[in-house]
Amino acid sequence: MRTLFALALVLVAPVARAADKPNVLFVSVDDLNDWVGPLAGHAQVKTPHLDALAARGTTFTNAHCQAPLCNPSRTSVLTGLRPGTTGVYALQPWFRTSEKLKDHVTLFQAYANGGYATLSTGKIFHGPYPPKEARAAEVGTFGPGGTFRTLPKAKLVETPDPIRAMDWGAYPEKDEDCFDYDIATWASAKLKEMPKDPWFFAVGFQHPHVPCFAPQKWFDLYPADKLKLPPVKADDRDDLPRFASYLHWKLPEPRLKWLQDAKQWEPLVRSYLASISFVDAQIGRVLAALKDSGHEKNTIVVLWSDHGWHLGEKGITGKNTLWERSTRVPLIFAGPGVSANAKCDRPAELLDMYPTLLDLCGLPANATVEGVSLVPQLKDAKAARERPAITTHNPGNHAVRTEKWRYIVYADGSEELYDRAADPHEWTNLAKEPKFAEVKKGLAKWAPAKSAAPLPGSQSRLLTFNNGVPVWEGKAIGKDDAFPEK
């Protein structure tokens, strides 16, 4: 049997160069919700470089991830397939371990096959993937991985979970010593030496992913005495089905109650905002290098985040939910073929990036992908779109998002329904009101009818529902088990 590495080499064998085609700068930001200037998710956030990018391109104001977790979301983006198709729901495994996906052409490979040089740095695939022996075949030139290389000697915050990543605060002293600075440095240098032939360059930043560290100067943008916290409702969970809690049952991210008791809610929100402004500056360095390189006019820039992040909404922090704060993400396109200073309110999905970029670059479509091209909306932000955005978290749990509604159905059949126009915080679950039965029926048609079984080796944040029993990380959840408060 040929090895995965050998198969990947075959997949990425390039065809003749196509120097007249646009380049692509593919920028990913980890755990970034809608707290950016173009989406106005937080009134105080300062993201001048994202603002400038949005001004010269199109921002999708209603874009959503396919999964509110790194590995399944990024697998979906790069394969163009939904989690319910790949069977990748958890932080492990690497999707190439699947027999049905071992030959699937990823976005990188579609560009390599189209004559493009391909490069990657930072976090684009999830963490340890692709494995070292397959990196060159999967992504071409591979730069720094962007790991947390600078950590304080001891945690700055003693959270309920002792893992080092669950931390926040002003650290280190200088930008140059903070992770992600090196990613921007390497990417900027590469852009200035990029060849004339077309290239696809993926640059992945980890901020504002925990640990939420940034130098003090970024905290100074958000004075503690003037900080605005996200609006929350004390009894917000009272009208939720119990199954909603199973999706984020026991996680290292602390609950709102702990943050309030420990007086850490404000520090975490401030750290998250500081981290966003820090990474905005790193993105600005890369975009400045693109401009200085002379490639800007012939380069499509797409910026996206793999999923959102709660900062107390619904009583939690982190992701792993099917609510707006966890699914809504920045998605901005700029460059050739893209309308400038435009905002599109149509639903969009991250897996739409795969067919959209091929479309913009005149490369052959991949008939196996499940997204649709956003080119009509990039030309005219008001162009119609039939499909809603669909997010899946573990088998059988789906959210359907239109311009007006968010509908959620869980593996046990329980539901949530929110009128986003009237209830932007999703505080009132309308699912049990008879007058909305037809609305639910229409939205439910879009929820995937089947979910592939988790791939062998799936673990870390995996929830299954078998024979009426919810199982979290291999342990059954009892019907009377209390929702964790930490």
Dihedral sign, Cα of residue 427, residue 433, residue 435, residue 438: positive
Q: What is the dihedral of CA 147, 152, 156, 162, to 10 degrees?
A: 60
Cα–Cα distance for residue pair 125/130, rounded to 1 Å: 7
DSSP H helical ranges for 227-264:
243-246, 256-261
The full DSSP string for 145-208 is --------SS-SS--SS--TTS-EEE--SSGGGSTTHHHHHHHHHHHHT--SS-EEEEEEE-TT
pLDDT of residue 366: 97
Q: Which entry of 42, 49, 64, 70 is annotated as an active-site residue?
A: 70
Looking at residue 18, what is its pLDDT? 52
C-alpha span between 128 and 147 (Å, rounded): 10
- Percent of the chain residues past pLDDT 90, beyond the cut: 91
pLDDT by residue (tens digit) across 393-430?
999 999 999 999 999 999 999 999 999 999 999 999 99
- Report the pLDDT value the prediction gives residue 36, as an integer from 0 to 100: 98
CA 199 to chain CA centroid, nearest Å: 23
* The residue to which tokens 């149509």 are assigned: 346
Q: What's the pLDDT at 16?
A: 38
274-285 pLDDT, tens digit each: 999 999 999 999
Question: Over 70: is that where the pLDDT of 470 sits?
Answer: yes
**246 touches 412 (CB < 8 A):** no
pLDDT at 12: 39
pLDDT band at 8 (very low <50, low <70, confident <90, very high): very low
- Lookup: tokens for 185: 């440095």
Residues 230/54, Cβ–Cβ less than 8 Å: no
CA-based angle 171:180:144, to the nearest 5? 135
388 SS3 class:
coil
Sign of torsion over alpha carbons 450, 451, 455, 457: negative
CB under 8 A, 24+ apart: contacts of 360-365? 360/22, 360/300, 360/336, 361/21, 361/22, 361/24, 361/111, 361/114, 361/198, 361/300, 362/18, 362/21, 363/21, 363/110, 363/111, 363/114, 364/110, 364/114
CA gap 73, 326 in Å, rounded: 12
Entry pTM: 0.95
200 strand-pairing partners: 24, 118
Mean pLDDT on 448-460: 96
Mean pLDDT of 51-79: 98
Q: What is the mean pLDDT of residues 444-464?
A: 97
Contact 272, 41 (CB under 8 A): no
Tens-digit pLDDT profile for residues 129-168: 898 889 999 999 999 876 666 789 999 999 999 999 999 9
Tens digits of residue pLDDT in 159-218? 999 999 999 999 999 999 999 999 999 999 999 998 778 999 999 999 999 999 999 999
* Rg, the chain, Cα only: 21
Give the mean pLDDT of 283-292. 98
Query: In the block, which residue shows the tokens 């852009």?
Result: 191
Q: Measure the CA–CA gap between 310 and 429, rounded to whole angstroms.
A: 18
| Of 126, 295, 310, 398, catalytic | 126
Report whether 471 contacts 463 (CB < 8 A).
Answer: yes
Minimum mean pLDDT among 88-97, 125-134, 274-283, 473-482: which range? 125-134
pLDDT at 431 over 80: yes
pLDDT of residue 147: 64
Distance from C-alpha of 404 to C-alpha of 402, rounded to nearest angstrom: 5
Amino acid at 77: V
428-446: average pLDDT = 98
Q: What is the mean pLDDT of the chain?
A: 94
3-state SS assignment for residue 450 = coil
pLDDT at 149: 67
All domains in the chain, ordered by first residue: 7-380 (3.40.720.10)
In the chain, the percentage of residues whose pLDDT exceeds 70 is 95
Peptide bond before residue 198 is cis, with ω within 30 degrees of 0 = no
Token pair for 247: 């999706």
The answer to whether residue 486 scores a pLDDT higher than 70 is no
Tell me whether residue 310 is one of the annotated catalytic residues: no
The predicted structure's pLDDT at residue 151: 87
Rounded (5°) CA angle 420-39-166: 95
Give me the pLDDT at residue 19, please.
57
Q: Has 126 been annotated as catalytic?
A: yes
What mean pLDDT comes out for the span 312-328? 98
Q: Identify the helix (H) or strand (E) that includes residue 133.
A: none
